[in-house]
Structure 1
Amino acid sequence: MHLLGSLIAVATLIGGLVHGAQAHSLEELDAMLQGDEKYFQPIDRPAPNFTLRTAEGRLVRPADLRGKVVVLHFIYTSCTDVCPLHAEKIAEIQNMVNGTPMKDQVTFVSITTDPTRDTPDVMRKYGSTHGLDLANWVFLTTTQDQPEDATRTLAEALGHKFTKTDDGIQAHGIVTHVIDKEGRWRANFHGLDFAPINLVTFVNALTNNVERPHHEQQEGWLAKLKNLF
Structure 2
Amino acid sequence: MSGKRGLSLIVLVLVAIAFPASGALDEKVALRSSQAAIGRELGDYRLVDSREREVRLSDLRGQPLIVNFIYTGCFQVCPTVTKALAIAVAEAERTVGPGKFRVATIGFNLPFDTPQAMKQFAKQQGISAPNWLFLSPQADTLPQLIADFGFSYEQTIAGFDHLLQASIVDANGRIYRQLYGDRFEAPQFVGPIVELLANAPRALGDVAGLYEQIRLLCTIYDPTSGKYRVNYAVVIEIIVGLSIFLVGIPVLIFEWRRRRRADHPAASG
What's the TM-score once normalised by structure 2's chain length?
A: 0.58
| Aligned match of 1:160 | 151
For residues 102-113 of structure 1, the aligned pairs below 5 Å read 102-113=97-108
Counterpart Cα distance in 2 of 1:114 and 1:102: 33
| Aligned match of 2:68 | 73
- Residues 1:177 and 2:167 are matched in the alignment: yes
Counterpart Cα distance in 1 of 2:194 and 2:126: 22
| Aligned match of 1:45 | 40
Offset, 1:168: 7.1
Could you tell me which runs of 5 or more consecutive residues in structure 2 were left unpaired when the two chains were aligned: 1-34, 202-213, 227-269
| Aligned match of 1:63 | 58
Amino acid across the alignment from 2:191: T
Query: Aligned in 2, Cα 1:155/1:208: closer, same or farther, shift over 3 Å?
Result: same
Query: Aligned in 2, Cα 1:194/1:97: closer, same or farther, shift over 3 Å?
Result: closer
Query: Aligned in 2, Cα 1:196/1:219: closer, same or farther, shift over 3 Å?
Result: closer
CA deviations on 1:153-188 (whole Å, 9 max, x unpaired) are 4223222312234x5711211111000111111110
Counterpart Cα distance in 2 of 1:207 and 1:171: 34
- Residues 1:82 and 2:77 are matched in the alignment: yes
Query: Aligned in 2, Cα 1:228/1:47: closer, same or farther, shift over 3 Å?
Result: farther
Structure with the greater relative contact order (CA < 8 A, sep ≥ 6): 1 or 2? 1
Asked if 1 retains the 8 angstrom alpha-carbon contact of 2:88 and 2:184, the reply is no
Asked if 1 retains the 8 angstrom alpha-carbon contact of 2:88 and 2:190, the reply is yes
| Aligned match of 2:232 | none
Offset, 1:76: 0.3
Query: Aligned in 2, Cα 1:114/1:168: closer, same or farther, shift over 3 Å?
Result: farther
Q: Pick the aligned partner of 1:186 from 172, 176, 179.
A: 176
Runs of 4+ in structure 1 over 4 Å off: 218-221
Q: Pick the aligned partner of 1:98 from 93, 96, 104.
A: 93
Counterpart Cα distance in 1 of 2:58 and 2:147: 20
For residues 102-141 of structure 1, the aligned pairs below 5 Å read 102-141=97-136
User: SS state of the match for residue 187, structure 1?
Assistant: strand
Offset, 1:100: 4.5
Q: Pick the aligned partner of 2:225 from 216, 222, 228.
A: 228
Q: Give the helix-richer structure, 1 or 2.
A: 2
Asked if 2 retains the 8 angstrom alpha-carbon contact of 1:113 and 1:152, the reply is no
Offset, 1:87: 0.7
Asked if 2 retains the 8 angstrom alpha-carbon contact of 1:102 and 1:204, the reply is no
Counterpart Cα distance in 1 of 2:87 and 2:66: 12
Amino acid across the alignment from 2:110: P
Offset, 1:57: 2.2
Counterpart Cα distance in 1 of 2:50 and 2:128: 15
Counterpart Cα distance in 2 of 1:84 and 1:155: 20
Asked if 1 retains the 8 angstrom alpha-carbon contact of 2:46 and 2:55, the reply is yes
- Residues 1:205 and 2:202 are matched in the alignment: no
Query: Aligned in 2, Cα 1:131/1:62: closer, same or farther, shift over 3 Å?
Result: same
Structure 1 window deviating more from structure 2 (119-128 vs 67-76): it is 119-128
Asked if 2 retains the 8 angstrom alpha-carbon contact of 1:48 and 1:158, the reply is no
| Identical-residue share of aligned pairs (%) | 24
User: SS state of the match for residue 220, structure 2?
Assistant: helix
